[in-house]
Structure 1
């Protein structure tokens, strides 16, 4: 009987752990996230490097340059506010500032905290579906994706000789 009480305690402790949202996120849902890809993204961010990468995502292939988190938000803010600026809209600067305000790097709040990256950012990204030409065609686009949704990756770009 003493032995079964020990087993019950273990089950209760395990149930408590599963009810802990932080534990569930990191220990179970985190198993779906490629730790190597998270490390590559973190390294690219820390060194401010742009690296060619090709991703497999749900049956499509996406190829582009992995860019730091901050660079993505700077380019997104420029790109999204440009049409407002061209129209002479006085809100263009405010729109750009709002987007730049989203630029919070994981773990930046505290040097001791090393939060894993959950998203990666590409520039000049092209999506390939089957054997068709890339989307968009001539020039690539900014792209943001969840690391946990990526099925696989290769370092390097697909040749743009469509």
Structure 2
């Protein structure tokens, strides 16, 4: 299947742009990504990176290295330039299998995926069956 170029969904991109622009705006969403079902709440890129920073607490050299790279990425997002939207970020994300079981079954995770890889979506979150 070489030569097939996936396009970004302009409606999904609009939702992401809106979440990126308005701090307190939440959109529950469910995505179909290459056959997988991912459900969560849209999160701005800036909020995603800020939450990711909290995961790396400078205790080790490796954590410090990752922290510095994420901090630089966050600064680029807040520099005032509108970056091209290539990724989608979710909080409270869960992936669902064919039986309706969710992974992870407990807890909360953030998820990041390529916008061009999303095959379809609907506004609203799935709940585990």
Whether TM-score is above 0.5 comes out as yes
Alignment check: 8 A CA contact 2:46 2:78 kept:
no
Contact 2:8 2:115 in 1 (8 A): yes
Matches within 5 A, 1:20-39: 29=5, 32-39=7-14
CA pair 107-154 structure 1, distance change in 2 beyond 3 A: farther
Range moving further from structure 2, 150-159 or 132-141: 132-141
State whether residues 87 and 115 of structure 2, in contact with CA within 8 Å, keep that contact through their aligned partners in structure 1. Answer: yes
Q: Conserved in 1, the CA contact under 8 Å of 2:96 and 2:103?
A: yes
Alignment correspondent of 1:45: 20
Give the drift of 1:43.
0.5
Structure with greater helix share of residues: 1
**1:91 Cα deviation from its structure 2 partner:** 6.5
- Aligned match of 2:77: 105
Unaligned ranges ≥5, structure 1 = 1-27
Tell me the residue number matched to 1:61. 37
TM-align CA RMSD:
2.5
Match of 1:129 among 97, 104, 112: 97
Q: TM-score scaled by structure 1?
A: 0.66
Per the alignment, residue 118 of structure 1 pairs with 86
Inter-CA distance 155–95: structure 2 relative to 1 (3 Å threshold) = same
| Bigger strand fraction | 2
Which runs of 5 or more structure 2 residues have no equivalent in the other structure? none
Larger Rg: 1
TM-score, normalised to structure 2, is 0.81
Q: Taking structure 1 as reference, are residues 101 and 61 closer, same or farther at Cα in structure 2, changes over 3 Å only?
A: same
Aligned equivalents of 1:63, 1:122: Cα separation in 2: 8
3-state secondary structure, aligned to 1:151:
strand
Residue of 58, 67, 74 corresponding to 2:50: 74
Could you say if the C-alpha distance between residues 159 and 95 of structure 1 is closer, same or farther in structure 2, counting changes exceeding 3 Å? same
